[in-house]
Structure 1
Amino acid sequence: MKLGVHLVNFDFPGGPAAIGPTLARVGVAAEAAGVDNLSAMDHYLQIAGMGIGDVDAPMPEGYTTLAFLAAHTTSVELQLLVTGVTYRHPGLLAKIVSTLDVLSGGRAVLGLGAAWYEREHVPFGVPFPPLAERFERLEETLQIVHQMWSDDDGPFHGKHYRLAETINSPQPLRRPPVMVGGGGEKKTLRLVARYADATNLFARPDTGPDQVRAKLDVLAEHCAREGTDYDRIQKTVLWAAPVAADAEGGKAFTDQLAGYAAVGIEEVHVMPWTGDPVGFIEGLGGHVIPRLKEL
């Protein structure tokens, strides 16, 4: 099983001046530890009630953060987990991710979802349409990025987005894998089957692998209807709970993940909840990643 580190807390000792140096050390530590994927939140504001801080806690812009990490890494995949469809125009999003891929040497992943955090839209005047419309926009965005990463530079005419041309130069070095986040059985998993290379589901200690297995069964049904090879889609989870990256905690965590590996999960993303992501990653390298590689 592969491991990703999902950065959620940027309130480092030393304040804003410490964010850059700390993230540089995160990149070095991640590669030394054998981390496969580095991701950040794509939010304008910190999520209140998450236990990290209130909405005024530091939250750097996502793709700028990834570009910085690209300069301090050489092998890990880089993505946001996940980009809300409301945050950026899809044509510009495809261009941004293409640029990240070129500058990182072909390591960009596009994570995409329907967005949910209305609280952060309101202060900046960013429209937050109803859920049904957000899903319509999500599907059109998936269509647009696929077109922009192809040889077709013609127009796109959708219900919500109209592009006169889909010119994208430079093209990414590899077509970035597309991950759709969320476990909605009627819409989200159908979009995974139709457009995506990876799915990202939530997992936590109090639910267990059976719930994830049920979501994957639904995904398999959508794949059968869409004519998609289910085995081609990477199955990942975001572990929505703290992980103790020491010997005892690492063993307990990997023992739990054995059940997820058994139902087909190939990659788990974990979060350093404290303000010491470097120490957390170093602990993962010593106590978690070697065990995960055996699952």
Structure 2
Amino acid sequence: MVPRPVRIALAVQPQHSDYPTIRRVVGEAEDLGVDMICVWDHFFPLFGTDDGWEAGRNFEAWSLLAAWAEQTSRVELAPLVSPVGFRNPDLLADMARTVDHISGGRLVLGLGGGWFERDYAEYGYPFGTAGARLGELEAAVPRIKARWSALNPPPLRDIPVLIGGGGEQRTLRLVARHADIWHCIGTPELLARKQQVLDDWCRVEGRDPSTIERSTHGGAPTSRHVPSWERSPDPYGPQLLELGFTRFTIRSGGPDFDLGPVREWVAWRDEVNRDRPVERSGP
């Protein structure tokens, strides 16, 4: 089987900044050659500045995606990821279909169960338990796909569904059942184990594991708040590629968006893709 090409994503953390700055960063990232631009779906900043994260600026994900769909012309666009508890699944399907049309067929729908309690509490959504939120995700994915079939006009393409997470009993089985792309974060050792569990669930579900693209952040995390481990592809890029991961996401947040690491990852992507035969189509 011809391997998938390596793809590089920029995950924009839209906090502690203004929209003109964010718009500039998105344009620069597309010019640098990234394959996808993502945004988190949170209502508040997650990381702090000298003023503290509680008072920081932040912008809503799907409004940004719609604006970026008009601004950009080539990159895929995605929430990484949208908690299904924030929006009615049928409405979320319609929003995704609409952004897909605005972008000319470049949307990837990233879905998850949600975890940041403040988002839920201050916006009036029930937080519940992790199991309950995962149950919402399990129920939402079939509804979203059914709604896409009913919409007029339909999406411009079969919108790829990305599901994030590594829960071995429920999340990875849901990935095996419904996802085109699986996104998980961890060390190469952890991801190797999670991947084996996913492959086992694929066999249970009658799914060819190779039909699911593997996605992760650009290295093995050493700190949740300081993504210095994403600065260079060395040493984790080649290790993760050897495991079969081909999408690598590099994060950058306000107020000072640093695209230096993105340049290094894009250069590594070009070198890898030049040196091996790769598949040129598909999500």
Q: Structure 1 length normalisation: TM-score?
A: 0.82
Partner residue of 1:165? none
Q: CA deviation at 1:179?
A: 0.5
> Residues of 1 paired with 2:27 and 2:131: CA distance?
42
**Residue 187 of structure 1, aligned match among 170, 181, 196:** 170
> Residues of 2 paired with 1:254 and 1:51: CA distance?
31
Q: Which amino acid aligns with 2:265?
A: V
> Residues of 2 paired with 1:124 and 1:243: CA distance?
32
Partner residue of 1:118? 117
Partner residue of 1:157? none
> Residues of 2 paired with 1:260 and 1:52: CA distance?
37
1:87-132 deviation per Cα after TM superposition (whole angstroms, max 9, x unaligned): 1000100000000000000011111111111122112211223222
CA, structure 1 residues 174+50, in 2 after alignment: closer, same or farther (shift >3 Å)?
farther
Answering whether residue 168 of structure 2 is matched by residue 219 of structure 1, we say: no
Partner residue of 1:231? 210
Q: Which amino acid aligns with 1:202?
A: I
SS at match of 2:115: coil
Partner residue of 1:292? 269
CA, structure 1 residues 73+244, in 2 after alignment: closer, same or farther (shift >3 Å)?
farther
Count residues with an aligned counterpart.
261
Q: Which amino acid aligns with 2:26?
A: G
Partner residue of 2:92? 93
Bigger mean CA offset, 132-141 vs 256-265: 132-141
1:31-53 deviation per Cα after TM superposition (whole angstroms, max 9, x unaligned): 21110110111011122579995
Q: Which runs of 5+ in 1 are unaligned?
A: 13-18, 154-167
Partner residue of 1:160? none
1:126-185 deviation per Cα after TM superposition (whole angstroms, max 9, x unaligned): 1223222222211111001111222xx4xxxxxxxxxxxxxx223111121001101111
Bigger mean CA offset, 34-43 vs 117-126: 117-126
Aligned residues of 1:33 and 1:281 also touching (Cα < 8 A): no
Q: CA deviation at 1:292?
A: 2.4
> Residues of 1 paired with 2:152 and 2:52: CA distance?
39
Partner residue of 1:264? 244
CA, structure 1 residues 109+122, in 2 after alignment: closer, same or farther (shift >3 Å)?
same
Answering whether residue 6 of structure 2 is matched by residue 7 of structure 1, we say: no
Aligned residues of 2:48 and 2:56 also touching (Cα < 8 A): no
Partner residue of 1:134? 133
Q: Structure 2 length normalisation: TM-score?
A: 0.86
1:213-271 deviation per Cα after TM superposition (whole angstroms, max 9, x unaligned): 111010000000001111010100024552488xxx53xx3432110000010111111
Q: Which amino acid aligns with 2:207?
A: T
Answering whether residue 60 of structure 2 is matched by residue 81 of structure 1, we say: no
Q: Which amino acid aligns with 1:105?
A: G
> Residues of 1 paired with 2:50 and 2:168: CA distance?
28
Identity of aligned residues (%): 32
